[in-house]
Amino acid sequence: MIRVRYAPSPTGYLHAGGARTCLFNWLFARRHNGRFILRIEDTDRTRYQERSLADLLEGLRWLGLDWDEGPEVGGPYGPYFQSQRLPLYQEYAQKLVEAGHAYKCYCSQERLQQLRAEAGRRNQPTGYDRHCRELSAKERAQKEAEGIVPVIRLKVPLEGETSFHDLIRGTISMQNSQMDDFILLKSDGYPTYHLANVVDDHLMEISHIMRADEWIPSTPRHVLMYRAFGWTPPLYAHLPVILSPTGKGKMSKRKTIGSDGREYPVLIREFRAAGYLPEALFNFLALVGWSYDDKTEILTREQIIQHFDLEHVSKSPAKFSYDKLDWMNGVYIRQLDPDDLARRLKPFLDKAKFEADLHTIRRMVPLIQERMVKLTDALALVDFFFAEELCYDPQLLIQKGMDVEQTRQVLAESEQVLRALPVFEEADIEAALRAKAESMGLKARQFFGTLRIATTGKEVAPPLFGTLAILGRDKVLKRIARARELLMAAA
RNA sequence: GCCCCGAUCGUCUAGUGGCCUAGGACACAGCCCUUUCAAGGCUGCGACGGGGAUUCGAAUUCCCCUCGGGGCACCA
């Protein structure tokens, strides 16, 4: 049975890198009919943030990444919060001490800090100097008597090397001499990541560990722990990290501002608020670090599940391409059923105080659907529908090759034609206006250009005839009249 | 400083010794379509980091260099 997990620590909001790691685990589980487990690694009390758990669960659900075991759904291997498993870690750490694979360390944090500073100054490795490794029973008793609460450290072999097989990278080894005696159990009784991770993965019968590249250096330590416990380690697959769009370093949770001043979303909640579709982000994220073939980019969730494999996971880190995500989001928006798009647009319009019912939004959709990259783009596309009064430079009314008088005529004639129309519908509006433009001997771009400015206040706007129909005859006539006033006043 | 991982167009990638004159996508440029803007269609620009070795043959295997990334906490 394949069992994989995503094990975030609730120290901040869910970001693209975490979501990608989660996605790969999820895909692997779904592909192989395995189980996907969500485990919360909340063993750092100083960095814990209450709101991050809710954000995490919400973000995963938004992306459609459901978990078979974990918070809110439970499961046979619980609890799924490490803070609720403390006695377990203490018990296992103790076992290691008793077996001689670990020992208690009484060094103060001040001493350790000094050690690091000193080593750093001399450009030496910064690890622990194993001061307490060979303490006698008497020495230990003395420290205990002084009331010092020890940490527990793993007794790393001094010689030899530790290696493991990575499903993506092959064999990776590290000299044991490169590892220090790292801490398993902190003095507050909480386990470090290393201990909790190994104990839980074993107890929860995790078969494959898929996590970011940055964990490679600590994997040999984990292997050493499995060995000390007498357990078989799971299979490892280290995923390439996602690089920041700024080009320096990996993608962080902090605000990322490109050299062009553009602000890049990194948190899932930010992508959502910016108007990205979950299915587009899902597709895009699946493709950062994994590829299907040499030509297919747009894949449904089902196709991705069906084809996902570790074979095609890349080894090298990838920059997060926002240009490509934008393109892909546009593709997904265009593919959306118009009713569906209208529903998704509603909250964004509501938030902008554009009061439109679903029916009206639905009428606008055909005009804007292929002009949006993100849902938020709709706002700038339709704002003129909701404006009380348009604000624009009257000179814009006068199109290239036209004069004030001709412009006045276009407005006057349009007004007349539109007023006379028996029904105010797109096809009729178009027919009448085209005929009028032709009879006046004006080019379409001239005639409609003037009208566009008059009715939308913009040089760039959605297709005119559909726009007029939605605006409605009253509003259109009012705006044309207003344009004539502005034109005359400016002339 | 030490250790680990990586390296194909500007970016994301395909490539698993001959199908490679290196394929696709994004971005960019041009043209077409067109009431503006989009969308769409067509075309173009554009890469195997360097040096050795193995081989009849190397983008693909090995070594060195270079460059990039990551790790070295009582964080995860």
Higher pLDDT, A475 or A250: A475
| pTM for this prediction | 0.94
- The number of CA neighbours under 13 Å toward the Cβ of A89 is 29
Q: Name the strand (E) or helix (H) holding A162.
A: strand A161-166
Report the nearest residue to nucleotide B1, CA vs C1'.
Answer: A123
> Which of A115-124, A169-178, A419-428 has the least mean pLDDT?
A115-124
Average pLDDT for residues A341-347, to the nearest whole number?
97
Q: How far is the CA of A279 from the C1' of B36 (A)?
A: 31
- Predicted confidence (pLDDT) at residue A41 exceeds the cutoff of 90: yes
Least Cα distance to A356 among A390, A373, A381 occurs for A381
Extents of the domains making up chain A: 86-239, 336-386, 394-490
pLDDT digits (tens, 9 = 90+) for A260-313: 667 889 999 999 999 999 999 999 999 999 999 888 899 999 999 999 999 999
CATH fit for domain A336-386, picks 3.30.310, 1.20.950, 1.10.3470, 1.10.8: 1.10.8
> Is domain A394-490 given the CATH code 3.40.1180.10 in the classification?
no
Q: Specify the nucleotide whose C1' lies closest to residue A183 (CA).
A: B74
Active site residues of A: 253
Question: How many angstroms is C1' of B73 away from CA of A182?
Answer: 10
- List the A323 CA – B28 C1' distance (angstroms): 12
Give the separation between CA A233 and CA A396, rounded to whole angstroms. Answer: 71
Angle at A34 between CA A28 and CA A36, to 5 degrees: 70
**Among all strands, which nt has the closest C1' to A434 (CA)?**
B35
Quick check: bond before A394 cis, omega within 30?
Answer: no
Tell me what pLDDT residue A122 has: 81
As ranges, strand B nucleotides with an atom below 7 A of a protein CB are: 1-8, 10-16, 23-27, 34-40, 68-76
How long is the CA A415 to C1' B43 vector, in angstroms? 44
Q: How far is the CA of A95 from the C1' of B51 (A)?
A: 54
Nucleotide nearest to A320 (CA to C1'): B12
Query: What angle is formed at CA A451 by the lines to CA A445 and CA A456, rounded to 5 degrees?
Result: 115
Nearest CA to the C1' of B34 belongs to which residue?
Answer: A445
CATH architecture designation of domain A86-239 = 3-Layer(aba) Sandwich (3.40)
Nearest nt to the CA of A464 via C1' is: B35
